[in-house]
Structures are given as C-alpha cells and as structure tokens.
C-alpha cells in the first residue's frame, strides 16, 4: 500500500449524489491555490465519453474536471471506461483504447486486469502532480462488490487515501445514508473515511444542524460543510440518473417547462422547442447541453412520439447500440414521427448513431451482427467496421469554424443507388443533397458523426437559425456568454461554493497529510 500524501477520494452515498461536481469544484479550488492537481476516476460505466488531444477516450466528467484543474485531459485520468451495449455486455475502453467486451458474468473475474491498470494510472499521476482528486463510483457501501472493488474503498486502501462522502440531501434520507455508509464498511475501510459533505441543500441550514451534530457524535467524523443547491450548474453526466442534468434550466433566463419530459428552459411561450429522443442506449447525450444553454431554446428529453412530432426541431442523439435502438424506435412509433417531420419539411438532426439510423441501410457485423433498413431519410449506407474511429476533427459550415470529436464504428457513405435500400416509409424527403460537416443534409434532414459540434457558438447559432427558419420561426440568438465561457463560469461557481461552504482547512489537511489518526470504528450489533 502506498502511503504518500497528495490525494483525496470523493465518494457518495448514492449515484448522482454530486461526486463529480464536488470533485470538479475541489480541483478548481486547489488550482486556485497554486497546486498542480489532476482528476482521476478508476472506472466509469458510462456511454458519455470524450476524446482527449492525444486520441484517448475517457469519461466526460474527468474531461471537465481536467478543465477545472487547468490541465490537458489524458487516459490516465480515467483508465477504465465500461460502455454498456446491453443489459449484460459492456465494451471495455482501457487506457483510452478499445479492449474487447465484458459479459456481466465475467465482471468479477475480469477485475484483476482492470484494477492493475487503474492502480498503475493513479500511481503515475501521483508521481507527476502535487495532488490527485479521485472520484468514486456509486456508493462505497455496495458490499456485494467489495471483494473486487478498485474504485472506492479498494482504491483508498491501495493508495492510502482519505475519503470524504457526499450525501444528496435533496433526495431525503441523507442522515441515515451517511451513518449507514460508515456502518456497512469493515474496520480497515472505516479508517479511511474521514468526513462528510452534504450537497444540494435548500433552506435554512440551522434546521439541518442538529442532525449533522448527531452524525458527528455517532460516527466520530465531522460534516465538512453543506453545499447549497446551485441553480444552473451541471457537469457532463455519466449515468442515466443524470441525463438532462441541465433540466433546471441553464440558459440566461430559462423557464423550465412543466411535466416529466421537460428538460430545459427558454422564453416562456416563444421558446424554440427541441425534442431529443431518449434512446435506451443513448450515447454522448451531452451533445445537446449547448442547445439547452442557449437563451430562447427549450430542450426536451422524451420518448413520446407526440412531443417529437410537435417540436420545432427533433434530434436523434448518439447510441451505443444503433441497430437495437432503431428497433426500439420502431416499436414505439417514434420512427413514424421522425419520418413525418421530414416529409413535412420540419428539421430532423441525427448525431452519430442517430445519423446512422437516418441512412437507407445499416450493415452491422460488429455490434449487432445484423443488416437492417434505416429510416431512409438520407441517401447513405452505413457499414460498421471493427476498428473504432477516435479523433478530434475540425471543419466549417457556412463560414463557421467547428471543432468536434468522433467515436464510432459505423462509417456512412453516399449510397451507390440512392433509394435502393429505403425502409418501409417510402420516398426520401425532397431537397438538394449537400455536405454537412462530415455528413449530409437533404432538405430538412441533417446528419453528422461529429460530437461536440454544437459547443461551437457561431456554428450552433447559425444552424439553429436555419433549422428554425424551415419551421417558420424567426429565431435569433439573444447573445450572452458562449458555451465554453458558461462552463468556466460554472466551474468558478463550484469553486466559490467549496471555498464559502466547506471547511477548506480540513480538506487541505486531508490532501496534504493523508489519513487522520484515531478515526473510530462503528461496531453495530449485527457485526457480532
């Protein structure tokens, strides 16, 4: 076991408790103190990923945390990325590169190799940086997984890391979850758990204080602070719970729409509405974050064909299982809604997997082993190839520069005989076929494999204006900060919240000095 200082593990009582946000805020706060800090997560299970400058693929959260730290993201910051392709299979990305698949039944036996890679990556980062802020996964109290754990307490034990546990007070039950997290751990694991952070609090903190004092008495560990609910602050989501993390409204004068499907805001009564289909294996849903940030644009994440039919713009996002998700689209009548939009000249955008679904035919010997008809809305044919394409392409559209990234097995090409492989919906939409980034546009239907393109402010606003014009909507950008600037503002707000509401002296002591001495062990009756 390594015992050197310079590290901290941020765990959580549940998924989506705010680990990623707190870790990003601590990274930015430490960087402000002149400390060379790097983020780290041993293993992500997520279909939201990013391509680093060196071509490595890592989870989006660690990419943003690297931005918070002011450093270039790299593979070592997320050495293991598991991308679910079904309920029983995950595609493995090891040190930024594809590394086969892992069946659910193989997960326990396959952890040794993954753990070795993760521990080696952390040791490498700690040799190059003053401090490493690690993020856990799920909850450290998932004792059914403890034997092979290398993400939570297993990582803490390997590296001698102090652990702080984040609790989501907005969900309720946070006091019980804090106590229960400690009580479920064995004695050696408990000695690494150094304190708690309460997250997403709204109201008078004095009402909460008696409970926090009691938690400190029962566990022998302090609550290091209470972070308030931060409106308009999000971080690129990792799991399904956090999809649409912008749901509280990111745009300058956002006004969330009512209903379960409402995700985003805009100018009430006149917002440009965007319906994003929530595919079962949705991938890189963060592509629409920039749309949700745009004032006057209301983004909805939905599975309702009527919402798709009535929106100003419809988006088919990326998918980790294109053929399977296309079948699901058809089962739920969403294919008819998309095709009807195209026939009526209403905007449809496909990104990566969504773009592949718009093709005439999909030949997939790699992921599904099937050849199927696409929706027939673009004159393309998609062929899946074994080697994943990872890159950071650059291009332009209507004079606007575009920086993007690509992660895909499916390669789209113009059909040799357009229309030869159309699906059951009939003729392709009318309109001249023209290039669109690396893909194509025909009439009101657009497709590209490029992720992140809409984070380019000029391109995003120009595309929204053209797509809205086809709907007869005179939408114009309202101005204000661009997407990258908004992200920087949010990271600074996180760091400000860390500085204002947490015991930063205690946090710095944990980072500098490692494990506190004398942390007590809780021994409930059930242990005897």
CB 504 within 8 A of CB 498: yes
* Domain co-membership, 455 together with 501: no
| Count of domains forming the chain | 2
User: In sequence order, which residues have a C-beta less than 8 Å from that of residue 471 and are 6 or more positions away?
Assistant: 312, 313, 346, 347
CB 412 within 8 A of CB 356: yes
**Region of 333 on the Ramachandran plot (φ > 0 left; ψ -120 to 50 alpha; else beta):** left
| Residue 248, in any domain of the structure | no
pTM of the model: 0.87
* Domain co-membership, 334 together with 455: yes
CA-to-CA distance for 182 and 423, rounded, in angstroms?
Answer: 56
| Residue 242, in any domain of the structure | no
Gyration radius of the chain's alpha carbons: 24
CA-to-CA distance for 135 and 123, rounded, in angstroms?
Answer: 15
| Residue 185, in any domain of the structure | yes
* Domain co-membership, 81 together with 194: yes
Domain CATH code at residue 421: 3.40.50.880
The per-residue pLDDT for 446 is 97
* Domain co-membership, 215 together with 176: yes
| Residue 527, in any domain of the structure | no
Average pLDDT across each block of 10 residues of the chain; the chain has 528 residues. List them in order.
Answer: 69 92 97 97 91 93 96 97 80 90 62 91 96 95 90 95 96 92 94 96 93 95 95 67 47 35 42 94 90 92 96 95 95 97 95 97 91 96 93 96 95 75 52 92 96 96 92 84 92 97 96 91 66
| Residue 144, in any domain of the structure | yes
Token duo for residue 275: 């319906």
The per-residue pLDDT for 368 is 85
The per-residue pLDDT for 417 is 62
Domain CATH code at residue 36: 3.40.50.300
* Domain co-membership, 359 together with 496: no
CB 282 within 8 A of CB 465: no
| Residue 392, in any domain of the structure | yes
DSSP state at residue 398: T
The per-residue pLDDT for 46 is 87
Measured in Å, how far apart are the chain's first and last C-alpha atoms? 28
* Domain co-membership, 221 together with 316: no
The per-residue pLDDT for 110 is 58
* Domain co-membership, 214 together with 271: no
Q: Which residues lie across from 414 on neighbouring strands?
A: 380
Q: Which residues lie across from 223 on neighbouring strands?
A: 196
122 membership: H or E segment, kind and range? helix 111-128
* Domain co-membership, 150 together with 228: yes
The per-residue pLDDT for 91 is 87
* Domain co-membership, 367 together with 416: yes
| Residue 273, in any domain of the structure | yes
Q: Active-site residue numbers?
A: 352, 451
* Domain co-membership, 312 together with 410: yes
Token duo for residue 31: 């960087």
Domain that includes residue 337, residue range: 253-479
* Domain co-membership, 120 together with 63: yes
| Residue 278, in any domain of the structure | yes
Task: For 327-385, give the DSSP string.
Answer: HHHHHTTHHHHHHHHHHTT-EEEEETHHHHHTSSEEEETTTT-EEEE----SSEEEEEE
* Domain co-membership, 332 together with 264: yes
């Amino acid at each position: 076991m390594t015992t050197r200082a310079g590290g901290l593990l941020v765990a959580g009582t549940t998924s989506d408790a705010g680990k990623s946000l707190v870790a990003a805020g601590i990274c930015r706060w430490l960087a402000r103190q002149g400390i060379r800090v790097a983020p780290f997560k041993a293993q992500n299970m997520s279909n939201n990923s990013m391509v680093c400058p060196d071509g490595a693929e890592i989870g989006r959260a660690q990419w943003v945390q690297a931005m918070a730290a002011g450093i270039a993201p790299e593979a070592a910051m997320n050495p293991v990325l598991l991308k679910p392709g079904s309920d029983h299979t995950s595609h493995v990305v090891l040190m930024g590169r594809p590394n086969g698949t892992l069946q659910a039944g193989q997960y326990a036996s396959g952890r040794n190799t993954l753990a070795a890679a993760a521990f080696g990556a952390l040791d490498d980062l700690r040799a190059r940086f003053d401090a490493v802020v690690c993020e856990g996964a799920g909850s450290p109290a998932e004792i059914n997984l403890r034997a092979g754990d290398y993400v939570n307490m297993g990582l803490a034990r390997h590296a001698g890391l102090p652990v702080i546990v984040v609790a989501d007070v907005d969900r309720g039950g946070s006091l019980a979850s804090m106590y229960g997290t400690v009580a479920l751990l064995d004695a050696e694991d408990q000695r690494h758990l150094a304190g708690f952070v309460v997250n997403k609090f709204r109201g008078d903190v004095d009402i909460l204080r008696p409970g926090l004092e009691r938690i400190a008495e029962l566990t022998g560990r302090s609550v290091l602070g209470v972070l308030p609910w931060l409106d308009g602050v999000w971080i690129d989501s990792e799991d399904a719970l956090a999809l649409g993390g912008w749901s509280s409204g990111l745009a300058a004068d956002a006004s969330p729409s009512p209903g379960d499907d409402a995700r985003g805001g805009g100018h009430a009564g006149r917002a440009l509405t965007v319906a994003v289909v929530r595919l079962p294996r949705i991938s890189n849903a963060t592509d629409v974050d920039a749309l949700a940030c745009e004032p006057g644009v209301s983004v909805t994440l939905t599975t309702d064909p009527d919402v798709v039919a009535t929106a100003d713009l419809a988006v088919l996002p990326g998918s980790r299982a294109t053929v399977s998700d296309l079948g699901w689209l058809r089962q739920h009548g969403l294919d008819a809604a998309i095709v009807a939009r195209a026939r009526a000249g209403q905007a449809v955008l496909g990104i990566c997997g969504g773009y592949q679904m718009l093709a005439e035919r999909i030949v997939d010997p790699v992921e599904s082993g099937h050849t199927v008809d696409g929706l027939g809305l673009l004159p393309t044919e998609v062929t899946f190839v074994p080697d994943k394409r990872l890159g950071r392409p650059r291009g332009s559209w209507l004079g606007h520069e575009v920086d993007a990234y690509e992660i895909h097995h499916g390669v789209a090409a113009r059909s040799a005989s357009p229309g030869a492989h159309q699906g059951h919906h009939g003729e392709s939409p009318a309109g001249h076929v023209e290039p669109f980034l690396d893909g194509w546009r025909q009439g009101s239907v657009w497709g590209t494999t490029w992720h992140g393109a809409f984070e380019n402010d000029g391109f995003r606003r120009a595309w929204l204006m053209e797509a809205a014009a086809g709907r007869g909507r005179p939408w114009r950008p309202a101005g204000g900060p661009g997407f990258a600037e908004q992200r920087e503002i949010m990271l600074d707000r996180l760091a400000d919240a860390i500085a204002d509401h947490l015991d930063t002296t205690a946090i710095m002591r944990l980072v500098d000095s490692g494990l506190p001495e004398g942390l007590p062990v809780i021994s409930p009756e059930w242990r005897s």
